[in-house]
């Protein structure tokens, strides 16, 4: 009787622990989903950049934002740091940036004792997230220091090997380097996004979003923490390790097709499942909820982050279009036809195409399950924006 009671208590304790862990995971997924939605609400037409930095955080990957000045690259990372209450480090790098600005100053008191030591407080060593602006402008000393930090999460400081607390590093630049000496650093950022200025016709929406963003920044409160990110990283890593064969069977054909368009390294191919599950988690899905179709779609979506330069965007688009659902391809064709008809002043036929496109989107909303619809949410929203813009043009023709 005594041992039965002890066994029952232990069993209840273990079950309670499992339920508690599962609840923590669910809570962490919901919090990251909320951050994803919050950032997309704050930044105008920035879904690729938002998803990219969140995927990189969960998968513990370095991420490079390439784009001209004034495209909110720094503001996006700053906003993420506020929403997650993460200790972050920021420097804009030039050829004259000193190593002390990255690693911290020499401790003068120790130096007087004949010891060469640094004060690492408030340096990149003590940060959880780092943003290095114009990273390819750094001096050779800093570049050499960054190589080990980005790859091994250590810095070599004199004869010392210093582990860093930095979980992920974001780099930003207005260019892709072509110098041979910068290629090793560029390769340390396997995930990249290429940002452009918004189109002239989007200026009004940009102004509204931009001023709302300015107002909201000072009022932001944390919605998640570094613990949430670490919980999700560990959970998805374990899930992939335990289901490697099944996941590989699903993703191998997609990855093989992709590398026919855009070559990527073996190391990057191996990480694609990690990126794909990270994308699905920031949309609110737990790994065990993911279907093979969802996983394929996620892999196709994250493949956009693996291109080397803007010239490969057209190659990615060709790859993506071959895997896009037929319903979306049809809508895309209808919108293109409507544009062509309007440019030739064939207004009535253009209007019919737009009505058909709207009907097709409504059909998708009614027919598709929630998971598939959420994966194509931003494409569908963009199609709706195009339809509304063209309808407005038709109204102005009257």
What pLDDT is recorded for position 8? 53
For residue 137, which of 190, 179, 168, 192 has the smallest C-alpha distance? Answer: 179
Q: What is the pLDDT of residues 192-209, one digit of tens each?
A: 999 999 989 889 999 999
Q: What is the pLDDT of residues 219-229, one digit of tens each?
A: 899 999 999 99
Q: What is the pLDDT of residues 150-180, one digit of tens each?
A: 999 998 877 788 899 999 999 999 999 999 9
What pLDDT is recorded for position 275? 97
Q: Structure pTM?
A: 0.86
What pLDDT is recorded for position 109? 80
CA distance 59 to 107: 35
What pLDDT is recorded for position 19? 46
Look at residue 12 and tell me whether its pLDDT is greater than 90. Answer: no
Report, at the CATH architecture level, how domain 326-397 is classified.
Answer: Up-down Bundle (1.20)
Mean pLDDT of all residues in the chain? 89
Give the residue-averaged pLDDT of 318-336: 91
In the chain, domain spans = 32-217, 226-323, 326-397
Look at residue 18 and tell me whether its pLDDT is greater than 50. Answer: no
Q: What is the pLDDT of residues 271-304, one digit of tens each?
A: 999 999 999 999 999 888 899 999 999 999 999 9
Q: What is the pLDDT of residues 97-146, one digit of tens each?
A: 988 999 888 888 877 777 778 888 889 999 999 999 999 999 888 988 89
CATH topology match: 32-217 vs 326-397: no
Look at residue 10 and tell me whether its pLDDT is greater than 80. Answer: no
Look at residue 55 and tell me whether its pLDDT is greater than 70. Answer: yes
Question: pLDDT band at residue 359, thresholds of 50, 70 and 90?
Answer: very high
Question: pLDDT band at residue 35, thresholds of 50, 70 and 90?
Answer: very high
Q: What is the pLDDT of residues 208-267, one digit of tens each?
A: 999 999 999 988 999 999 999 999 999 999 999 999 999 999 999 999 999 998 999 999
CATH superfamily of 32-217: P-loop containing nucleotide triphosphate hydrolases (3.40.50.300)
Q: Percent of the chain, pLDDT > 90?
A: 67
């Amino acid at each position: 009787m005594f041992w039965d009671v002890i066994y029952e208590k232990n069993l209840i304790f273990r079950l309670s622990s499992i339920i508690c862990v599962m609840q923590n995971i669910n809570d962490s997924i919901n919090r990251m989903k909320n951050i994803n939605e919050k950032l997309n609400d704050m930044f105008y037409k920035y879904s690729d950049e938002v998803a990219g930095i969140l995927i990189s955080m969960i998968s513990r990957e370095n991420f490079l934002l390439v784009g001209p000045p004034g495209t909110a690259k720094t503001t996006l990372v700053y906003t993420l740091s506020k929403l997650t209450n993460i200790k972050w480090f920021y420097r804009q790098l030039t050829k004259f940036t000193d190593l002390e600005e990255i690693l911290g100053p020499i401790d003068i008191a120790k130096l007087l004792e004949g010891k060469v030591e640094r004060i690492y407080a408030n340096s990149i060593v003590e940060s959880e997230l780092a943003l290095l602006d114009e990273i390819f402008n750094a001096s050779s000393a800093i570049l050499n220091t960054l190589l080990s930090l980005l790859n091994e999460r250590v810095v070599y400081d004199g004869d010392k090997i210093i582990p860093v607390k930095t979980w992920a590093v974001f780099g930003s630049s207005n260019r892709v380097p072509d110098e041979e000496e910068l290629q090793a650093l560029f390769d340390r950022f396997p995930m990249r996004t290429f940002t452009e200025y918004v189109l002239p016709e989007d200026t009004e929406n940009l102004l509204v979003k931009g001023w709302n963003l300015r107002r909201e920044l000072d009022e932001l409160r944390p919605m998640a923490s570094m613990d949430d990110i670490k919980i999700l990283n560990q959970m998805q890593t374990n899930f992939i390790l335990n289901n490697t064969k099944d996941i590989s069977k699903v993703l191998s054909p997609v990855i093989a097709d992709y590398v026919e368009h855009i070559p990527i390294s073996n190391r990057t191919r191996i990480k694609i499942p990690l990126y794909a599950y990270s994308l699905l988690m920031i949309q609110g899905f737990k790994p065990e909820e993911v279907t093979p179709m969802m996983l394929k779609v996620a892999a196709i979506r994250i493949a956009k982050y693996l291109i080397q330069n803007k010239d490969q965007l057209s190659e990615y688009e060709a790859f993506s279009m071959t895997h896009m659902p037929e319903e979306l391809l049809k809508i895309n064709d209808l919108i293109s036809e409507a544009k062509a008809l309007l440019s030739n002043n064939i207004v009535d036929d253009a209007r019919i195409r737009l009505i058909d496109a709207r009907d097709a989107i409504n059909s998708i909303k009614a027919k598709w399950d929630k998971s598939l619809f959420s994966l194509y949410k931003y494409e569908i929203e963009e199609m709706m924006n195009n339809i509304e813009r063209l309808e407005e043009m038709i109204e102005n023709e009257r």
